[in-house]
Structure 1
Amino acid sequence: MLDLVSLKLFVECINTGSLTRVSKEQHIALAALSRRINLLEDHYGVQLLERTGRGVSATDAGHTLYKKAHDIFEQVHLAQADVSDYSHGKKGSVSIIASTSAITYELPKQLNSFNQDHPDIRVEIAEAFTTEVINSIRSHHHELGIIVNTNYIEDLVTLPYYKDELVIITSKDIHFNSPSINFGQITCFDFVLMDGSTAISKLLSSSAAKVGQIIRVRVRVGSFETVCRMVEAGFGIGVIPKKIAMQFTQTMELNFYSIDEEWSTREILICYNKSRPLSLAAQKLLRHLQYSPS
């Protein structure tokens, strides 16, 4: 069985690079500390620390364990937090990780109503790109995820959440004659986009490649609001969800236009890992997201 105390001491040895320092800081005899590290190495059957006259450093195997140890202690911390909730009147907790599109518009209102209906359930929320959401659900770091429909998610359970329409936003000095625009009409413009890892950025790049074009990205930013502000300032055009565009065009000098392409309508999904049953709290949140109005 893995000894968490020894694992913690091992992590501190790498952090400090010194057995002697860890011995003093953790109030453990140097011989006892060395014994724990040796037992840890015996447990895994590999050398974990490189010992020199200047101190200690991780071997390749030790570096791998060091990275995994951080995940282990994070899960232990979360477990402690979840269990402590029960002593404060909570009856469960659920963690959800959502794409930027969902967390910017749809999700907050539904989570607010869920908290009102279930004040005894603690909800932890994280924002990430769709690829990161998928990886987090696969690794069991979060129970529920909200993603843009994509390929290669057959190993996850997916359920429909809502439809999302992408639109083009422009500054007021850019005008098109039609309320709906073909994608080929805009590839000549500079673009203001979010990080290249976002689903929208990947979609635009692949769509441009299919027609032999490339997306000229002038500015990359971290939020839809900043996309809108940079577009308003004349740095290029942007592509964002329609509901978010409607929200920001009320307060900014912007136009928005529909995109006359099939891919402009996206399906947003709720997902979870099929290899582990959902907690009761997660089941309640899942039903709320599916059936309560947003």
Structure 2
Amino acid sequence: MAASSLPLAIPAMRFDLVTLNLVLAIAETRSITAGAAREHLALAAASRRLSDIETRLGVKLFERRARGVEPTEAGHALVRHIRSLRASLHALESEVVEFSRGVKGHLRVAANAASIAETLPRDLAAFSRANAGVRVSLEDLSSAEVQQAVAEGRADVGIFVAPVRDGLDLAVHDYRRGRLAVLVPRAHPLGRRKAVRFEALLDHDIVGLPIGTSVHEAMLAHAERQGRMLRARLQVRGFDAIAQLVEAGLGVAVLPATVADRLARLFEVKVLGLDEPWAERQYLIAVRRQEVQPAAVQRFLDALCGPSAGAATSRNARQSPSGGSKS
């Protein structure tokens, strides 16, 4: 069979979920024995299933090594599709079951912490009021994780901060703009200013969200450009926790301006402007690229981005203001 005809032949093959789950378990445990145990299969039966699927596909899925197995490139590709399939099956089951409860659809949204704190709640509330039959679930992830979740089918819609990751088949739309600000204790030496440059913060300990979040990666990139170390001493989850640590005098923080303004009314902290071009941020919405979006997804895009969101636009080449590759 010619190589060009292979993709046409693959859909005709029969893949059972037991074998696909086994392949995923082996890939995640790096062991045929552990994968078989996780899927409650005898080792001999698991080995036969793995050998059978490799024979039918005509490729090796795993390289056997002294300390276990390692997925081949073909194995990694199959695992990606299995994860997407499992996510779709889970969504299918959840959505069909909910029809019996009067729910007309289920929209899974993944968003980064800043968008949840700064822009998303009002839009989600308005969408829910206009689409009472659609149940919306929301998961808090880093911007990079948001994009991966959408690409793998674990989320229907993702809201995040640029850059768009390469290699993901996503349709990306502009959502809203935001701005970063600085939070300092009321009695802090920088508190006498209305705005500061980022380099002024590098002499102080930084309180912030964990590594991998968009703000942390932007600060890290700009500190490295200036040949300075980012003194990220305290990393916590949640903006309230950040404000309490800043109030206690344990450092300064960079966070979304609207969030900072809200926290300044609750804690003994002061908000300063961040006088940097990269303080302006663009929130984006991503969905999987396909000809026709599910009705609930399209209604969500129309509500948050306007009817022009019906035309999918690739933004894989977009870069963040920080020039970083993580978010």
TM range (shorter): 0.7 to 0.9
Tell whether 2:129 aligns with 1:116.
Answer: yes
In the superposition, the TM-score normalised over structure 1's length comes to 0.80
Secondary structure class of the residue paired with 2:104: coil
Q: Which residue is equivalent to 1:201? A: 216
Q: Which residue is equivalent to 1:26? A: none
Counterparts of 1:251-270 in structure 2, within 5 Å, are 251-270=266-285
- TM-superposed CA distance for 1:258, in Å, is 0.2
Q: Which residue is equivalent to 1:180? A: 195
Distance 2:272 2:44 in 1: 71
Distance 1:187 1:99 in 2: 25
Count of aligned pairs between the two proteins: 279
Unaligned runs of 5+ in 2: 1-13, 27-31, 307-327
Distance 1:220 1:33 in 2: 43
Q: Deviations over 1:38-57 (max 9, x none)?
A: 6445434568899xxxxxx9
Shift in CA distance, 181/79, structure 1 to aligned 2, threshold 3 Å:
same
Counterparts of 1:39-58 in structure 2, within 5 Å, are 39-45=52-58
1:138 to 143, 151, 169: 151
- TM-superposed CA distance for 1:60, in Å, is 3.5
Q: Which residue is equivalent to 1:216? A: 231
Counterparts of 1:82-101 in structure 2, within 5 Å, are 82-101=95-114
Tell whether 2:117 aligns with 1:104.
Answer: yes
Over alpha carbons, which structure has the higher Rg?
1
Paired amino acid for 1:126: E
- TM-superposed CA distance for 1:156, in Å, is 3.5
Paired amino acid for 2:205: D
Contact map agreement 1:160 1:268 (CA 8 A) in 2: yes
In the superposition, the TM-score normalised over structure 2's length comes to 0.73
- TM-superposed CA distance for 1:118, in Å, is 1.1
Q: Which residue is equivalent to 1:162? A: 176
Unaligned runs of 5+ in 1: 24-29, 51-56
Identity, in percent, stands at 25
Q: Deviations over 1:143-174 (max 9, x none)?
A: 22111132556953332222211111011220
- TM-superposed CA distance for 1:132, in Å, is 1.2
Secondary structure class of the residue paired with 1:188: coil
- TM-superposed CA distance for 1:240, in Å, is 0.5
Q: Which residue is equivalent to 1:129? A: 142
Shift in CA distance, 92/192, structure 1 to aligned 2, threshold 3 Å:
same
2:247 to 206, 209, 232: 232
Distance 1:43 1:171 in 2: 65
Distance 1:214 1:33 in 2: 50
Tell whether 2:311 aligns with 1:283.
Answer: no
